[in-house]
Amino acid sequence: MSDVIYTVRQFNREVRQLLESSYQKVWIEGEISNLAAPSSGHLYFTLKDEEAQIRCALFRNRRLRLRCTVENGLAVHLRGQVSLYEVRGEFQIIVDYVEPAGEGILRRKFEELKQKLDREGLFDMSRKRPVRRIPRCIGVITSPTGAAIRDILSTLKRRYPVANVLVYPVAVQGAQAAPQIVQALAQANHAPLCDVLILSRGGGSLEDLWAFNEEAVVRAIHASQIPVVAGIGHEVDVTLSDLAADYRAATPTAAAESVSPDRGELAGELTARSRRLQIVMDHALQQQAQHLDLLASRLRHPADRLHAHRQGLANMSARAFFASQANRHQQEITTLRLRQRLNSVSPHLLLEKNHLYVDNLDQRRGRLCRNLAINPARELSSLAARLHGLSTRHTLQRGYTILRDAVDGRVVSNATAVQRGQALEAELAHGWLQCTVDRAHTRSRRPTVRAHGPGKATTRSKRN
């Protein structure tokens, strides 16, 4: 025996967690009773059978997705999560889906068969066949006494009264419905008189429409060589025959409209095509008339054609005469040009030209010899005179002096480059002077310059 002591809340919570982890989703069948619908939108009821009952809660967000109405006394199949309401310690089911008991079995059978046939490709959209726009014969597979056949025939009479309609009477509800529908599809394909088949019936419950969910019917529709249009029930009713058909219509009337062109639209289209045909024919006749006019203009009397040929022959003779004259004139010009070219390359002319060329070369040789004897002496004298005029010695002889720094021998050309007391050397045409700067002037006026040294100015030989 465990020594752990729980509070009520702790125990209820642990029991709830244990239940929720042990049962994920469960299906339960029973009858609804004690239904309560508070203002919150949730539903609370008891699901019972002959020997037991259990509390259930259907919250508002799940309730809005249901296709059926939940009411007292309704036998249902529900799916939900096992749980425990901790506040009261009540065992309950949190419901997420509810369906009527009989319909639920059919619905699950419907889904299983749908998945099976879908895996086999019976609902593949790529295998759908187009419906002929203007069929000659329309086959209708339905009950001969139901409202569907009346709606289909009235619609075809209103929209497309010239169509041939072949009715295959079958039962559309009950045990004999599926075999009769399969036989009618086989009969229509065995003698292919129809361009399209309409498989139809009025609305009803899932049980009423179950014949159109039979596997044999679906496979017969898929195997049909004639396109099949399904108009079964109302817009919300979807059967496996709808999915296997080449085209699904919402109602029998819509199915009849889908296979029949509107006679008003056909009349308008025929009128438009008639107008286009008239325009094309008028254009073709106009082109043929223009072609005939052209041929008539080209058709002439034989005498006129002979005269035209004579005129052409005369023109050709004149052109041949003028062409021969022009050819002879061109030959004369060519001969004259060739004679001129022959004269230009005559040996006598070339010899005379070469004699003149040799005389010219001899004259140029004489002038060149005289120039070579006279010009070098004259040029040497001129260069010597220019060299003498540019020599430093000649410049010094004119009274100029080269002033250098006594320390590094740098030539002084600017008064700002020396300082007072700085020793300088002045190079003259004959000798040197050692000087000391007494004062430097940067103005253009030449000051009185006094040069003195430790003794008299002396001369010395030029440095190397």
pLDDT per residue as tens digits for the range 189-223: 988 889 999 998 887 777 778 888 888 899 999 88
Identify the pLDDT of residue 21.
82
Helices 215-223 and 177-190: crossing angle, nearest 10°?
10
Q: In this structure, what token pair is assigned to residue 18?
A: 């244990």
Which ranges in 263-301 belong to alpha helices (H)?
A: 263-298
10-residue averages of pLDDT along the chain (464 residues): 77 85 84 90 90 91 83 86 87 87 70 85 85 88 88 89 89 88 91 89 78 89 90 80 88 88 80 89 90 80 82 89 88 87 77 82 82 73 76 77 84 82 84 86 58 44 39
Q: In this structure, what token pair is assigned to residue 109?
A: 């059978």
Q: In this structure, what token pair is assigned to residue 350?
A: 């070339």
Identify the pLDDT of residue 44.
92
pTM: 0.44
CATH homologous superfamily of 8-107 equals Nucleic acid-binding proteins (2.40.50.140)
Domain at 124-262: CATH architecture? 3-Layer(aba) Sandwich (3.40)
- State pLDDT tens for residues 281-308: 989 999 998 888 888 777 777 887 788 8
Identify the pLDDT of residue 105.
66
Instruction: Give, rounded to a whole angstrom, the gap between the first and last alpha carbons of the chain.
Output: 134
Name the residue ranges covered by the structural domains of the chain.
Answer: 8-107, 124-262, 392-464
Residue ranges of E strands in 130-206: 137-142, 164-169, 196-201
Identify the pLDDT of residue 59.
92
Helices 101-119 and 215-223: crossing angle, nearest 10°?
30
